[in-house]
Amino acid sequence: MLILIGDILNWLVAGVVFPLMLLPLAARISGPSRSTLVWLALIGAVVGCSVLFAWIAPALAVTPPFLVTVVFSASIGTLALCVGLTGGVRKVITRLSPIFAFITRSTARIVMWFLLAMAFIQFGVVVLRYVFGINYIFMQESITYMHGAVFLLAGGYALLTDDHVRVDIFYRGASEKKKALIDFLGTYFFLFPICLLLLWTASPYVANSWSVGEGSAETSGIQAVFLLKSLIPAFAILMAMAGFNIAARAGDVLKGTP
């Protein structure tokens, strides 16, 4: 049952995340009056290619249950209706960009406090072990949990603020429009596909962990490994939100929009 719920949630997220990713692309390649139609055409093209792939390579494709298909289709339809009622692609981008930026920044600022907690706990572990000869497994594992949370949940913030490691050869000396083109193409050719791939592959991995209530191999450890694994799809969603902002900002620069 939990696996089915996980599949439904995964396809629900996919039905919302991947159409939203296409909004900046639609705004870039068309004018305001036609951007909504172009966006719908892009969604139809992606879904059509997916169906064609499932038909050509049934052994590699995944056929979702009927309920999951209904949820996926309903999410796309509801999202398309909301975009139409809101006033078009450009207005939706303008409203969503600050919301996604706020979520990404707020999540990172919360988990950054884990760095201080990790330092204190690690200090306590060393003192207890080498001074008093006491060892608590749950304290050691808590450091692993917080370490994973910091890197996975703050990754979107690092991308959004351009504080990530960049192998810079041509980017630094490029003009603003060339930088925007690199950001735009990089987001659509590399970032978004990786985010969708993470969501796709992590779904059964996380669902199986939840279904068995996976915990630590140690009796005195933290019995919440399923929560730690849930950080993987959260990371993909936060990175997609950051990529949405980057693509929207780069699209504005390329079109000369202030």
Q: Is the pTM for the entire model greater than 0.85? A: yes
Contact indicator for 95, 27 with CB cutoff of 8 Å? no
Confidence of residue 135 (pLDDT cuts 50, 70, 90): confident
**What is the mean predicted confidence (pLDDT) over 135-143?**
89
Assess contact for 185 and 253: CB atoms under 8 A. Answer: no
Exposed / middle / buried, residue 55 (Cβ in 10 Å: 0-12, 13-18, 19+): exposed
Number of H helices, E strands in the chain: 11, 0
Q: Indicate the pLDDT class of residue 115, thresholds 50, 70 and 90.
A: very high
From CA 27, how far away is CA 20, in angstroms rounded? Answer: 12
**In the chain, what are the helix, strand and coil shares in percent, each to the nearest 5?**
80, 0, 20
The C-alpha atoms of residue 153 and residue 232 are separated, in whole angstroms, by 9
Is the torsion defined by CA of 136, 140, 143, 149 positive or negative?
negative
Query: Quick one: three-class SS letters along 114-183?
Result: HHHHHHHHHHHHHHHHHCCCCCCHHHHHHHHHHHHHHHHHCHHHHHHCCCCCCCCCCCCCCCHHHHHHHH
Cα(222)–Cα(94) distance, rounded to whole angstroms?
Answer: 42
State how far the alpha carbon of 52 is from the alpha carbons of 58, 69, 152, 193, in Å. 10, 16, 34, 18
Could you give the angle at which helices 113-130 and 89-111 cross, rounded to 10 degrees?
Answer: 20
Unique residue bearing structure tokens 């659509």: 188
pLDDT for residue 258 is more than 60: no
Of 101, 44, 113, 122, nearest in space to 244 by CA:
101
For the stretch 169-220, pLDDT in tens is 777 778 888 888 988 999 999 999 898 888 878 877 888 888 888 888 887 8
Model pLDDT for residues 15-44, shown as the tens digit of each residue: 778 888 888 988 888 776 788 888 888 888
Phi then psi dihedrals of residue 105, to 5 deg: -70, -45
Better-scored residue on pLDDT, 98 or 47:
98
- Tokens, residue 105: 């920044």
